[in-house]
Structure 1
Amino acid sequence: MARLPRVYVENAVYYISCRAAYNEKLFKGEKDYRMYLELLEKYRKEYNFKLFAYVLLPEHLHLLIEPSPDVEISDIMHSLNTAYSKYFNSYYNRRGHLFRERFRACIVEKEGYLDSVIKHIHNNPVRLKITDNASAYPYSSTYLYSKKDYNYKEIEEALSIERYRKNISAESKDKELDLRKRLHRGGVLGSKEFKRRVKEEIQKNKSVSSENSKRRKNHVIGISLGVIVLLAFLAGIVKYLRFQPRSIPKESRKEAVPLASVVIKEIKDLNNTEWTVKFTSRNEGKSFPDTLSFVNGKFVSAWFHQDGFNPTNYSVTRSGNKIIWETMQTSGNATISWRGEIEANKMRGIASLRSKDKAQDLI
């Protein structure tokens, strides 16, 4: 089915599935599993989301997350999977995408479904014949329940260990198979009232997106609901830090001091810099300027920020003499994927802006 907008619904959790690219494994050894779990814990604290269950398998993984109202699930998964991909590609000296797609999600009502979905997640290693004992699998959250580890307050809040143990093997195989199919189809899993609330939130999301779309149509590049690919830019570095109030928080602006010169040689040098850029439309030949800022670990585009694309975390790697940065931003139904390469103090890059109905190429 079509991908649902990443909406926040009270008393709901996201069942997340991430799969490796074809002919690839997400986890090749113990170190990989441990790294993903460390990153999962890091971003759980940073984004303040609740983690009810997880399982890491060689070629895919499942998470059960309840995001906080002010953080989108897309931001959580982008930060988590980007950081892990960066580690994996560096450790195994590989290039390219590690994950087959961004991720798949099913919005699940907590009341009446939480126990069953947790059970489904924990039983994955048994179903795949990796082990015959779900509790013995080391890369899932079963130990949080079996050992009564209440460091995760969400477990203490939502579940009783006694109820969980009682229900862990209570469902029939037919019900389990039906649940698995419904989860993997995505969409919404819950009561009629819950589905109504989700639909209501989606409609609100679409209304906001529609307003943003109307404003974007007035821009020189004619951004509307569409699929915009291959947006390339050429930039020269500004010799001092000069922040735009609409893009940079006040606490960041007060730390901005003029610099005689800025030279990008190391990964750390990218932070607290600002770049002037020029975008050109491949189809129409039109161009427009933009300002890209990297401040306190956050990336922001002045042009797209006014359309609702808020500052995001970015990843940085080094390849020979090149400094490479990547990030992804979302606004309503639109997503921008950014990738830039810096060499000899010059930046070239590609940004892909995807929406829904229309295609336009920019260079």
Structure 2
Amino acid sequence: MARPSRNADPGSIRASARTFFATAKTSMGRRLLQSERNALLLIDVLRSYVAQGRFQLHDFVIMPDHIHLLITVDSGMSIELAMQLVKGGFSYRLKKETGYLGEVWQRGFSEVRVEDSESWEQHRRYIAENPIKAGLCTSPNQYPYCFQYLIEQKTRGLKPGSSSSRSSGTTEVVP
């Protein structure tokens, strides 16, 4: 009997890292992430998990009522657990540090597996264009709560809260 042909790339079969475009929405569409304090708190939560090696974060945008992440998890982490860490970590800190008493996140999240470079670029463009489409800025490097902006500020050597790091009245931060 002939063996069926294998069409999958053997490297992909064994690959432990998986990349996803993930989206989480705030409870009832509340604009909890529109304040600088809350957006920076979420950025800090993301940074802490990246620093701990829990996952890799390639790109993100924090919108007033949702987040988009381009995230890679390895064999020891599922996308479900990574999103639980992000959402739970932020909820815990928001309640602890600000006294917020309400629900923070809508249940669940959505994710799409990023399979190739075309998908990668499509999701990066979507992340960059999201605040523009929402009317929050006219170019991605103007929106302070996205990866692209933070990298640019870091490259320029700007620090959070410094007077030279202010433009249009918004405090800039470094990733």
TM-score scaled by length of structure 2? 0.71
What is the Cα deviation at residue 148 of structure 1? 8.6
Higher relative contact order (CA 8 A, sep 6+): 2
SS in 2 for 1:138: coil
What is the Cα deviation at residue 100 of structure 1? 0.9
For 1:124 and 1:68, how far apart are their aligned partners in 2? Answer: 27
Greater strand fraction, Structure 1 or Structure 2 = 1
For 1:27 and 1:123, how far apart are their aligned partners in 2? Answer: 18
SS in 2 for 1:58: coil
The gaps in structure 1 that reach 5 residues or longer are 1-7, 150-363
For 2:29 and 2:75, how far apart are their aligned partners in 1? Answer: 37
- Among residues 127, 130, 146, which one is paired with 1:121 in the alignment? 127
What is the Cα deviation at residue 102 of structure 1? 2.5
For 2:133 and 2:75, how far apart are their aligned partners in 1? Answer: 34
SS in 2 for 1:22: helix
For 1:112 and 1:10, how far apart are their aligned partners in 2? Answer: 20
For 1:25 and 1:148, how far apart are their aligned partners in 2? Answer: 27
- Among residues 34, 44, 47, which one is paired with 1:38 in the alignment? 44
- Percent identical among aligned pairs is 20
Counterpart position of 1:136: 142
Q: Does residue 100 in structure 1 map to residue 106 in structure 2?
A: yes
Counterpart position of 2:26: 20
For 1:23 and 1:144, how far apart are their aligned partners in 2? Answer: 25
Aligned positions, number: 142
Greater helix fraction, Structure 1 or Structure 2 = 2
TM-score scaled by length of structure 1? 0.36
Greater mean deviation of Cα atoms: 118-127 or 27-36: 27-36
What is the Cα deviation at residue 48 of structure 1? 3.9
The gaps in structure 2 that reach 5 residues or longer are 1-13, 156-175
Is this contact kept in 1: 2:21–2:71, CA < 8 A? Answer: yes
Computing the radius of gyration from Cα coordinates, the structure with the larger value is 1
Counterpart position of 1:89: 95
What is the Cα deviation at residue 64 of structure 1? 0.4
What is the Cα deviation at residue 93 of structure 1? 3.1
For 1:89 and 1:102, how far apart are their aligned partners in 2? Answer: 19
Cα RMSD (Å):
2.4
Equivalences for residues 122-271 of structure 1 within 5 A:
122-143=128-149, 146=152
